[in-house]
Structure 1
């Protein structure tokens, strides 16, 4: 196991072999990578384990640069394990380069169906038994989708948990994918309203950009295509604490004047490419709606729910906005079938994505009866008007999990754990210990 010393920390790399399908323990196996981090000078054997489950789906774990941010607070009390969830980071990858080895689109979709929260939690259980033994529980910190995984963990393996901390990640227990987006679009619209109130000059600037793209979509440096809808999807960043400012600075850099007149600048297109490409996290697009699929909520699957529901909210119609006088609204955390046409990282996986969208009878991810009888100490930060996770659903789930303590705050947006320099984690730790 490679061991490295970074400022204030000792980092150890771990690799584990787990079944692709935990229902077939003797079948095909994949690799899961995890990185253990301990504060320098501390005896790891005297520290309890804290497993960190990253947001997503499809994002790799953070790469530590030393003892800083929320990790610094965690290392005061814990031996931290940063997990690259299956298919991400240094775990066995699942992307446009590797998935064709599985076979045709149907085989790829069948393979990807085993990459949801339930499989991730079973990976965690295999890893826990390997590192801690059968009977020793550990703590879990779940951010966003990582919180969804933590609630699955509470549903199906609570005896493995000593405590659970969740930030911006309490899922609706029995909501459909369409329910999720029907609640999301009004929140996204509120974030747009706040952005344009902060930067009123962006109203006309955005209309200019979208008008330009409507007349002629533009090729991005990485080979993708920037269309009006693709540009609107930059609103994903409006759910973070600094996202509105980042978006404004991007917009103000949009045009330069050349021999043929005003054109979109290279710097603008380069930055847009970085925000829109799914090259680093294709599972986010492939499995985003699948992470809401549960047969007890809807036996019909997810069926491109964000695209279906969008039609119920005409304010997001860019053409109508340009034909009238309304601002062009950005969208948010929504995945659409056209993304698998405009993004080169996704285009080869279009047929598999379609099969996943049409897949029926996804197994349930949560057990309300088990959660109602929960005995594990649990606390959750719920961000007021979180753009990514519905506050009403989160609070209903909080009431459904016995003993869960919430901290509802508008001091931070969805990225509060990352940007609060340990303050969010510190409050959760104190809450779960009964110190607050």
Structure 2
């Protein structure tokens, strides 16, 4: 079904029910390049598709409830595919009051997906590396937020909405507040206030010490894994261990299992994966070493499949990882900021003991070792030397912000430093925060965090215009 709205054509692709939810699927065209375009106006130039789902409680399927748009984490993360209201805790609370809009960010999910084959086709067609880099830069926050504002203006009758940003979605929230505050009635963020001005090197200077502490906490909980992780690393370092997809397993890739340490129950997942590593005898470290251990012992298929799955990601997650900190004209190129910091910390070497795990950080070797990333390397390397990016934050606008902003700041957040979050919030007018050490970075997926933020906003009168 296609429905005309003025000069725009929007597509209602499907409508259906999943247990406890009414779902509509929609899609619109957006410009690949927003430079010559304005949200809400007719589009000039090449277009891509922006896909979204709109969900509501079945009893509100046709009610004109206020809108809440969910800004997904990432980069490169697709919006939730809910199995039921309770499958993602914040949804269960949100549908009591809102129609919830779940857009897949451009290049992700069903929004003109970009993956290795996309970039490979460009290279095969003779597209220059510089043009490939230009293309990837179109999938950052300045374009994403313009997509969402265009969606609001053309698909939802320009009705202002409430936003909820999780992790990188909080970064997008500040971009939205900077560029189009008139589109927002109120904003909520969970574990996602970036430090502004943005600086990738600063981020990783905070991340690596936290990651060392997280590894220490992991070993305190599972002390037997100190020796087991070391034995696994010793075996991998022999250079003849391959994952089921044919990629060679390296120690540095094994170390990236720590990327999940900022969420629950990641310690347990990594522990049980390490527990499954040895296929000799009773699976103990003693049996492994007796059977050849660091030279000839075997690592189990279960372990290798687990590592392969745990260290794979959505296609744009690693290629765009460091560029989410690029705001306008840079003072200096990013040049693999995480790798720069790691090289100053020998305790993170693959040969160091105890073996430390690494966090949410992208390294050049990933683009050599992982087939799904290899086609991206020339363009990403080009971007690492670039100093011109889209402007994503307006410091003056944020300092004079009138949109109520309520943030959940997780004190022990592995990925987004709480001290840096609070520093940014101190410079944003009309912002409020709740600091807690009860939750990890993914706390919003439970049933308390969003409900608490919503109640605080209600009690201040921030949502008065919605609940008249």
Please say whether Structure 1 and Structure 2 have the same fold, judged by a TM-score greater than 0.5.
Answer: yes
Q: TM-score, normalised by structure 1?
A: 0.94
> Structure 2, unaligned stretches of length 5 or more?
1-11, 38-43, 282-290, 462-468
Structure 2 residue 224 is matched with structure 1 residue 224: no
The residue number in structure 2 matching 1:381 is 408
Write out aligned runs for 1:179-328 (5 A).
Answer: 179-257=202-280, 262-278=297-313, 281-295=314-328, 298-319=330-351, 321=352, 326-328=353-355
The residue number in structure 1 matching 2:69 is 51
The residue number in structure 1 matching 2:441 is 414
**Hey, which bits of structure 1, 4+ residues long, moved more than 3 A?**
258-261
Which protein has the larger Cα radius of gyration, Structure 1 or Structure 2? 2
Structure 2 residue 459 is matched with structure 1 residue 434: yes
The residue number in structure 2 matching 1:81 is 101
Does structure 2 conserve the Cα–Cα contact (< 8 Å) formed by 1:294 and 1:363? Answer: yes
The residue number in structure 1 matching 2:82 is 64
Deviation at 1:22, TM superposition (A): 1.2
Deviation at 1:128, TM superposition (A): 0.2
Does structure 2 conserve the Cα–Cα contact (< 8 Å) formed by 1:223 and 1:344? Answer: no
Q: Which digits, 9 at most, give the CA deviation of each residue in 1:390-417, with x for residues without a partner?
A: 1111001111111111011111100101
Count the aligned residue pairs.
425
Does structure 1 conserve the Cα–Cα contact (< 8 Å) formed by 2:56 and 2:100? Answer: yes
Deviation at 1:276, TM superposition (A): 1.1
Q: Which moved more, 1:116-125 or 1:356-365?
A: 356-365
> Structure 1, unaligned stretches of length 5 or more?
none
Q: Which digits, 9 at most, give the CA deviation of each residue in 1:62-112, with x for residues without a partner?
A: 101122122111101110011100000001011111223432332221100
Structure 2 residue 190 is matched with structure 1 residue 167: yes
Q: Which digits, 9 at most, give the CA deviation of each residue in 1:296-329, with x for residues without a partner?
A: 6x3322110000111122211121x2xxxx3100
The residue number in structure 1 matching 2:464 is none
Deviation at 1:364, TM superposition (A): 3.0
The residue number in structure 1 matching 2:139 is 115
Deviation at 1:435, TM superposition (A): 5.4
| Pairing partner for 2:27 from 7, 11, 15 | 15
**C-alpha distance in 1 between matches for 2:77 and 2:387:** 25
Does structure 2 conserve the Cα–Cα contact (< 8 Å) formed by 1:192 and 1:330? Answer: yes
The residue number in structure 1 matching 2:288 is none
Q: For 1:394, what is the secondary structure of its paired residue?
A: helix
Does structure 2 conserve the Cα–Cα contact (< 8 Å) formed by 1:55 and 1:145? Answer: yes
**C-alpha distance in 1 between matches for 2:63 and 2:143:** 28
Q: Which moved more, 1:259-268 or 1:71-80?
A: 259-268
Does structure 1 conserve the Cα–Cα contact (< 8 Å) formed by 2:235 and 2:297? Answer: no
